[in-house]
Structure 1
Amino acid sequence: MTFKTGDKYPLMFEAPENSGVFFDVYTEAARRIGCKLIITRLPKQRIHEALKKGDLDFYPAASFSEKRAEYLHYIEVGITTKEYGLSSTKIPAIKNLSQLKEYPNLFWLMEANSSKSELAAALGIKTQQINYMNIEKFIKFVNQRPKYEYFYIADKEIFDTFLVNHKVTDLISHGLRTHTNCCGKAKPMFLGFSKRSKHYRAIANEAFNDKENVSATNQVSKLTTNSLVHRLAVALQNMKQEGVTEEIYNKWYPQPER
């Protein structure tokens, strides 16, 4: 498994510390298929270069994009996630990302090699890519550069963790508005497995619907049942059904003080 060097607690701590939800989930999944989990932390751009070549096997939570689908096969992890939009309070609540085009001085901040760059380009929204981005860094961008408007998408688990750690119920005190309905409903989290990995085996997916766009749930290929990656997918599915994944997630997910 590979992951970026930055912190994404509670999913994974900043390198070199690997603790978190991902470590526990994939360590157990690896144990179930007779393997040992080995983790390599790298900058995100180098990660995707390695995944394209098959030098590394998988990324634990990969957003879908058509470009990534050329070299990644998507497998459900067993965790439900959601995305929130963040901006300065000067931008009113939005319900669709296309509304960002109404602000000519706005830049969509995202990490380098983000899958969101394809979406931003399709919508005609200007972007600014940063090597590593989190909520704390975004707050500095907004408050130190009042001439421009900035937008950022944060995973719900990262957002909730920030609130708990800073003992706040929203981001208004930090000069930010939260757009909870801009980025779709809650959805399954998927890992991205390298199609060049020695553990990957696949055949044509007869259930593929060529009348719909390729997506994490509508892939051209499907895993062969005799492959290690298929055994990993089955282990993750079983862990979800048994409640093991939820138990691990709840152990790490911060709960607000009552």
Structure 2
Amino acid sequence: MLKKMKYPLLCFIGLLWLPSAFAKQCVLTMGYRTSERLPYIQKAPSNDGFYFDLYDKAAKRIGCRLEILRAPKKRILRELEFGRIDFYPNLNYSPKRNKIAHFIANGLPSNQIGISRRQDPEVTDINQLLTRNKTLLIAPGSHIDGGLPKHLSTRQPPEMDIRTAIELILQKSGDFFIYEEASIRYHLTQFPNPEIKIHHKCCVNNNKMYLGFSKMSPYYASEPNADYDRKQPLSPTNQPEKLLVSSKANQFAKSLSRMHQLGITVKLRDLYFNNNQKRYATHVAN
């Protein structure tokens, strides 16, 4: 009787183990808008680019798989708030966003510069846009470091990338656009435009690039941060809570930090911003 029961019993144990094995599978979901941000990511439905390679490598190093959801940015930020996506790849810090996301450095710098029509005077302070009666173009869901002057004229199209911003500026449907420096320089290297002027000193700079990890994600867990300084303002590096060591969010952060230390992040960035420029230029032209 025992021999007869042996194989059915093993099959039953196997069936019990199978769902638990699948339940433990780690899938990190990154959310991003549908428009392109070359060379970081191509226009949906393609997810090729620096973001995928960076975060896919970091995820695999901790036994996870990366998935990417594309939708308008405002919807993506709502998904982040409710934990339906795990992280947004490049999220500028603000007190409001701090309530829904934990900020993790991805190993890259992030500076903002501005562009305008060639004949416009140099902008060294964003308040000058107000005194000069200029209209600032803003991508949906974007955040300008240092904030915006009260009563500044703004325009916010439903979807906007660098190429669209340049078209609107040249059509005089807007006057100024602020964006990440590396992305603007990459675009203007691929598509030089003598009618566009770069403003290097318009904005708050010397920042790190952070991903925003959802505080509602099943992979997020936190504990009190003994290094928190109540006398200092909240920032990505001064928080009352820190990631729980055993959480997947913390493992992901450590994976990205280790890749930065090993030089993997910089090499990958150089590959996309230097060696692969022709590939992305061809994509945009088509």
Instruction: Provide TM-score, normalisation by structure 1.
Output: 0.89
Shift of 1:102: 1.0
Out of 198, 204, 217, the position equivalent to 1:178 is: 198
Is 1:81 aligned to 2:110, yes or no?
A: yes
Shift of 1:56: 0.7
Q: Which runs of 5+ in 2 are unaligned?
A: 1-29, 279-286
Q: Give runs of ≥4 in structure 1 deviating > 4 Å.
A: none
Q: Deviations over 1:211-232 (max 9, x none)?
A: 3322222223210101010000
The 8 Å contact of residues 109 and 152 in structure 1, kept in 2 or not, is answered as yes
Give the letter for the 1:13 counterpart: Q
Greater relative contact order (Cα < 8 A, sep 6+): 1
Q: Where do residues 238-249 of structure 1 align in structure 2 (5 Å cutoff)?
A: 238-249=258-269
Q: SS at the partner of 1:229?
A: helix
Give the letter for the 2:245 counterpart: T
Q: SS at the partner of 1:99?
A: helix
Q: Which residue pairs with 1:53 in the alignment?
A: 82
Identical columns (%): 31
Out of 177, 185, 193, the position equivalent to 2:213 is: 193
Q: Which residue pairs with 2:159 in the alignment?
A: 132
Counterpart CA distance in 1 for 2:212 and 2:94 is 11
Q: Give the superposed CA RMSD.
A: 2.0
Is 1:218 aligned to 2:230, yes or no?
A: no
Q: SS at the partner of 1:24?
A: helix
Counterpart CA distance in 2 for 1:123 and 1:86 is 21
Q: Which residue pairs with 2:49 in the alignment?
A: 20
Out of 96, 99, 112, the position equivalent to 1:67 is: 96
Counterpart CA distance in 2 for 1:87 and 1:217 is 33
Instruction: Provide TM-score, normalisation by structure 2.
Output: 0.81
Q: Which runs of 5+ in 1 are unaligned?
A: none
Shift of 1:239: 0.2
Counterpart CA distance in 1 for 2:117 and 2:94 is 27
Q: Which residue pairs with 1:100 in the alignment?
A: 129
Q: Deviations over 1:56-93 (max 9, x none)?
A: 10001101111111101000001112211112234311
The 8 Å contact of residues 72 and 195 in structure 1, kept in 2 or not, is answered as yes
Counterpart CA distance in 2 for 1:131 and 1:110 is 10
